[in-house]
Structure 1
Amino acid sequence: MNRMILNPVHPVDPVKNSLRAPLPGGRGSSRQWPYYRVRVSAPRPASGGIDRRTLVSTSMVRGAGGVTAIARRGLSLLELLVAVGILSVLAGLILAGVQRARVSAARLGCADHLRQIALAAHGYHGARHRLPTGMARDDGKVPEPYLSWLARLLPHLERDALWEQTEAAFRQERNFLTPAHAARSALVPIFLCPSDGRLSGPAGKDATLHAVAHTSYLGVEGRNAGVADGLLYMDSRHALSDATDGTSSTLLVGERPPNADFSLGWWYAGWGQAQNGDAEFLLGARTRCYNRYRATCDEGPYRFTAGRLDNPCDAFHFWSPHPGGAHFAFADGSVRFLRYAADDILPALATRAGGEAVSAPE
């Protein structure tokens, strides 16, 4: 048999534990009705289960109109679903905000790396009164054949030990693909754009099975390697004063991720398309595709437009993983984000002395 236990609450709180009702025949007077809490309990069923009646907590209030029972219950299934839905929406908004923050931070990091490279090029220029050569051809006389312009900046990027290792390797063996050139696989974070997740780990082997490290930044050789009217190309030896179009209107370095199979984009040394560094660590505003790469790609010329990491033909034009455009360092050391809509003026910006009256869009 169920038992009802009636417990009066003392002392009586005139606000929380009582009801006020006017006395018959009196104005403004009132009386307090005692407040009772009732607990209904029942013996455990013989089957050992739980009686649903024991799960309900009931409060009873005795007032002027009698005794009122108030049942307290948990959330319904619909209410739980609504709560879960609201939490899911909030979680989605938070995750989207975190992702946007990560993308923005990676883009800023990419621009900062490019700025440091431009400053290192100015440091090299200050020490030698000219910019580094884009790449020196192997004429049997140069001490470091096929070495990239990026490698020559190492002392100005506080990587003196790596530069000394590079010099020692070339004194021992002129072929940069031999084991003596261990620096070829050294990962230099400043040469990489954080937005390209493929480059975050250690150097791997490319399609030719050589262990190499890569770069996201290529020197601007002008319109293409054939005319070589920029500041960095094979055997180039230019001072900043040669940029008669104006250093603030002449491109020096631009973004382009390594190609899909990592055969292009080596920072240390390389041949490129025709042993001239083209599409390796040098690139033009209207580069053409030739030699063995014509088997899979059109001749071009290629334009400044969006690309894909899995498309091997996007190795022949400037682009970046950032939406809408790519970062470029100018000869004055500034770094600006150019949108793909600037493609028409990119060849003029790439030349050092073309006489074009153009300026980079802000």
Structure 2
Amino acid sequence: MKKKTGFTLIELLVVIAIIAVLIALLLPAVQQAREAARRTQCRNNLKQIALAMHNYHDVHNCFPAARLSSTPKYGQMVALLPYLEGGNLSRLFDVTAPGGFADPVNQKVANTPVSMIRCPSNPVPGLIKMRNSSSTGTSYGSFITSTGSTTDPNDPSIMTGWANDYWVNHGINSSSYTLAYSTGISPSPILKGTSPRMRDVTDGLSNTILVSEHAGYDVHYVRGVGMPMPATDLTLDQPGAWGTWLGWCAYMIQTYPVYTVDTYPTNLSNIPSGTGCTVNCNNSQGIFGFHAGGATVAMGDGSVRFLPESLSNVILMGMVTRDGGEVISE
């Protein structure tokens, strides 16, 4: 009689178990490879934005101001579009519209995705609802509509725009700076003033941050965790409106104490400065990205660096000033 061949149940289970172990071993490697590719793309985005800043400077003899225009209101990305191969899109933006970046005539431009302003590691969907400025100490900002504003998040007339993950800092938190340098001076960020120039950067372009990751809008992130944002949340000082790429994508950089989601004080309108957390602490007023272990910045000379979460507040505060005279030893 011919003997039948085949797998026994035990053999089949062993094979399945071996395959499961192999998948478990390979999956982290695959995830790490994907994140490495995303991080490389993020670095390239910042590099291109920094080069666009330099090309703008070559033409206008200055960098675009951090808050490029206040009447009507729009930000530096409007000026950089022609230098990011976005000349056709820039011509669609009406700089004379009274509402600026939030004017209904500019909705088509605001809703146009521009891959260079998005970090691929950011888990938040790119198209966000625009908000008015937050009422610091009172409530988070109301939504902007085509005719005014509303507190109803389901209102169909709420205006939208693509979020920008790469911001500049228009200011330096004085308390954070004092914790690092007790000099009594008030140094300036690189883009301070209406016509910031390279020659103003006396600390050296290679020592001064020009653009940084500041990602996650329209969600408030603390230590990588999305926080609930009820109307009574007082802590996110930057409104979502400025998070859209045509708006004022500029923040006052700050360092923080070490908070967890459970210990974060949502009842304070101004979170105190601290020395325990410098990178990936809080996307309200801090350098913040979604890469493991740190975030990416572009320096004034166009180079790109990865800042670790372990970076000291002394080094960071020295890197965000253009004229502080600090000696930075990394």
TM-score (norm 2): 0.72
Match of residue 247 from structure 1: 205
Distance between the aligned counterparts of 1:212 and 1:236, measured in 2?
Answer: 26
Distance between the aligned counterparts of 2:72 and 2:98, measured in 1?
Answer: 10
Distance between the aligned counterparts of 1:306 and 1:114, measured in 2?
Answer: 17
For structure 2, list consecutive stretches of 5 or more residues without a partner in the other structure. Answer: 132-142, 144-157, 176-185, 221-238, 257-264
Larger Rg: 1
Specify which of 172, 180, 188 is matched with residue 105 of structure 2. Answer: 180
* Distance change in 2, residues 1:223/1:116 (3 Å): same
Alignment: residue pair count:
264
TM-aligned CA deviation for residue 192 of structure 1: 0.8
Match of residue 85 from structure 2: 158
Distance between the aligned counterparts of 1:137 and 1:123, measured in 2?
Answer: 20
Specify which of 169, 189, 198 is matched with residue 230 of structure 1. Answer: 189
2:119 counterpart SS class: coil
Match of residue 42 from structure 2: 110
Is the CA contact 1:134–1:148 (under 8 Å) kept in the aligned structure 2? yes
Q: Give the AA of the match of 2:56.
A: Y
Match of residue 86 from structure 1: 18
2:305 counterpart SS class: strand
1:329 counterpart SS class: strand
* Distance change in 2, residues 1:100/1:355 (3 Å): same
Is the CA contact 2:66–2:168 (under 8 Å) kept in the aligned structure 1? yes
TM-aligned CA deviation for residue 314 of structure 1: 3.2
Distance between the aligned counterparts of 2:196 and 2:305, measured in 1?
Answer: 22
Is the CA contact 1:130–1:238 (under 8 Å) kept in the aligned structure 2? yes
TM-aligned CA deviation for residue 177 of structure 1: 2.2
TM-aligned CA deviation for residue 304 of structure 1: 1.7
Is the CA contact 1:232–1:282 (under 8 Å) kept in the aligned structure 2? no
Match of residue 6 from structure 1: none
Distance between the aligned counterparts of 2:81 and 2:308, measured in 1?
Answer: 30
For structure 1, list consecutive stretches of 5 or more residues without a partner in the other structure. Answer: 1-39, 41-56, 59-71, 139-143, 271-279, 288-292, 308-312
Q: Give the AA of the match of 1:218.
A: W
Distance between the aligned counterparts of 2:255 and 2:6, measured in 1?
Answer: 70
Query: Does the alignment pair 1:189 with 2:159?
Result: no
Is the CA contact 2:128–2:244 (under 8 Å) kept in the aligned structure 1? no
Identity of aligned residues (%): 29
Q: Give the AA of the match of 1:336.
A: R
* Distance change in 2, residues 1:137/1:150 (3 Å): closer
Residue deviations 1:7-39 (CA, integer Å, cap 9, x gap): xxxxxxxxxxxxxxxxxxxxxxxxxxxxxxxxx
* Distance change in 2, residues 1:179/1:305 (3 Å): same
Specify which of 86, 89, 96 is matched with residue 171 of structure 1. Answer: 96
Is the CA contact 1:247–1:331 (under 8 Å) kept in the aligned structure 2? yes
Q: CA RMSD in A?
A: 2.7
The correspondence of residues 196-345 of structure 1 with structure 2, limited to 5 A, is 196-199=122-125, 203-206=127-130, 208=143, 209-224=158-173, 229-233=188-192, 235-257=193-215, 258-260=217-219, 263=240, 264-270=242-248, 280-286=249-255, 298-301=270-273, 303-307=277-281, 314-344=283-313, 345=315
The correspondence of residues 44-83 of structure 1 with structure 2, limited to 5 A, is 57-58=2-3, 73-83=5-15
TM-aligned CA deviation for residue 286 of structure 1: 4.6
* Distance change in 2, residues 1:151/1:128 (3 Å): same
Distance between the aligned counterparts of 2:189 and 2:269, measured in 1?
Answer: 25
Q: Give the AA of the match of 1:212.
A: G
Is the CA contact 1:225–1:283 (under 8 Å) kept in the aligned structure 2? no
TM-score (norm 1): 0.66
Distance between the aligned counterparts of 2:72 and 2:39, measured in 1?
Answer: 34
Match of residue 324 from structure 2: 354
* Distance change in 2, residues 1:136/1:156 (3 Å): closer
- Which range moves more in the overlay, 349-358 or 217-226? 217-226
Distance between the aligned counterparts of 2:115 and 2:250, measured in 1?
Answer: 16
Which structure is richer in relative contact order (CA contacts within 8 A, separation 6 or more)? 2
TM-aligned CA deviation for residue 93 of structure 1: 2.5
Q: Give the AA of the match of 1:180.
A: V
TM-aligned CA deviation for residue 196 of structure 1: 0.5
Distance between the aligned counterparts of 1:354 and 1:102, measured in 2?
Answer: 39
* Distance change in 2, residues 1:91/1:135 (3 Å): same
